[in-house]
Amino acid sequence: MENKEIQIGLFGFGCVGQGLYDVLNMSQGLEARIVKFCVKDKNKKRSIDASNFTYDKEDILGRKDLDVVVELIDNANDAFEIVSRAMKNGVNVVTANKKMLAENFSELYKLQQENNVALIYEGSAGGSIPIIRNLEEYYDNELLSSLSGIVNGSTNYILSKMQFDNLTYEDALREAQENGFAEADPWLDVAGYDALYKLILLIVHAFGVILKPEDVLNVGIQNIRIHDIYFAREKQLRIKLLAYARKENDKIRAYVLPHFVSRESELFNVNYEYNAIEVEGAFSDKQMLAGKGAGSHPTGSAVLSDISALTYNYRYGYKKLKKNGANGTAEGANGIVEDDFPLKCYIRFSNPESLKELDILSIEEEYRSAKTNYVIANVSFKSLFNLKGNKDTELFVCVVED
């Protein structure tokens, strides 16, 4: 692919697709052109001429002259079909679809090996932050012990707006959507699914293990109320939705949960749509990578960097995954995840009966008033799975760090 203009077939022209188009036009270094844009909605008003668009995916997948297929659509099932077809045709693929990647990782890993093609996806986690390539390449021989990060821009934006401007959760969510940070289905953001999918990808490249999204806990901020922000503020803490993974003695503790973060933490000042991932290694100790985690141009820039990487035949080496052998498949990862341990949490509720949804091991503090009730308690981690994807629960849970 060297020394010639790269021919791109693009699926999707939403927030990130438009971002890629803009940064591609403004960037100086890369000789690349989107030769066809495939989109779904014929009636949507778009910023470029209609003659650029096709509504038939065969107009891209059926072509033999494209160097790369870039997949930036919302629907994860359609995306998986597009990406697998392109790979089977021997075409390199760039995607930012974390849901599609996390839900089908073993299959996509196999397709890369079988068809000898690259599938790269820097834009899928941390937006503009070059985290995946760094975990894969820079930390390839480093014994990483943990990663902890803010990997969802929408929820961080909502939490910051509630924290600094006293906005209600609903108003802050609306602003996050207007700014193009949120997923088409914002439940994926607020319930912690988007962060979960990104965590699954980070774990592949940090620890060489493929976990299934259903086996990893995610609890989001959908039940947060201003009282929780007041509680944090009073104690000079901030609430952050963290994606967390720690590897110890061949066991991985992994989850997405709201946390109270203190001023001493590097993550305390990561606000609005900014993301940051702190990695800890045996030799390097703690390091943090930070940047804009959502939005049209920041994510478009990560996608552009992936396209550019293909010009020097870059592909992920999956060294850690290969080293782990059988454990490098989702099936082989059974038993790797630490499934139960006590976790100290703040739990806010209206109806005391709701606490029965969790297995509470011991209560350290209890507060009741006409406005709000909470306990600070040690909870069985396993029982927090009762809150995963649960639209009926009223509980807001936030990890209290010792």
Annotated catalytic residues are 198
Q: How far apart are CA 164 and CA 162, in angstroms?
A: 6
Q: How far apart are CA 372 and CA 107, in angstroms?
A: 47
Residue with Cβ nearer ligand HSE (92 or 299): 299
Residues 6+ apart with CB under 8 A from 49: none
* Contact status: 150 vs ligand HSE (CB under 6 A): no
Among 154, 305, 311, 393, binds ligand HSE (CB under 6 A): 154
Which residues, numbered 161-190, are part of the site for ligand HSE (CB under 6 A)?
A: 181-183, 189
Residue with Cβ nearer ligand HSE (82 or 196): 196
Residues 6+ apart with CB under 8 A from 138: none
Residue with Cβ nearer ligand HSE (146 or 299): 299
To the nearest whole angstrom, how small is the minimum distance from the Cβ of residue 72 to ligand HSE?
A: 11
Among 19, 293, 300, 328, binds ligand HSE (CB under 6 A): 293
To the nearest whole angstrom, how small is the minimum distance from the Cβ of residue 34 to ligand HSE?
A: 21
* Contact status: 194 vs ligand HSE (CB under 6 A): yes
Residue with Cβ nearer ligand HSE (155 or 327): 155
Among 9, 12, 19, 127, binds ligand HSE (CB under 6 A): 127
To the nearest whole angstrom, how small is the minimum distance from the Cβ of residue 234 to ligand HSE?
A: 28
Q: How far apart are CA 121 and CA 112, in angstroms?
A: 13
DSSP 57-103: THHHHT-SS-SEEEE--S-HHHHHHHHHHHHHTT-EEEE--HHHHHH
* Contact status: 17 vs ligand HSE (CB under 6 A): no
Identify the helix (H) or strand (E) that includes residue 197. helix 193-207
Burial status of residue 347 (CB atoms within 10 A of its CB: 0-12, 13-18, 19 or more): buried
Residues 6+ apart with CB under 8 A from 25: none
Count of residues touching ligand HSE (by CB under 6 A): 12
Contact letters (x/-) for ligand HSE, 297-336, by CB under 6 A?
--x-------------------------------------
46 contacts 53 by C-beta, under 8 angstroms: yes
Count of C-beta atoms within a 10 Å radius of residue 350: 12
Q: Return residues touching ligand HSE (CB under 6 A).
A: 127, 152-154, 181-183, 189, 194, 293-294, 299
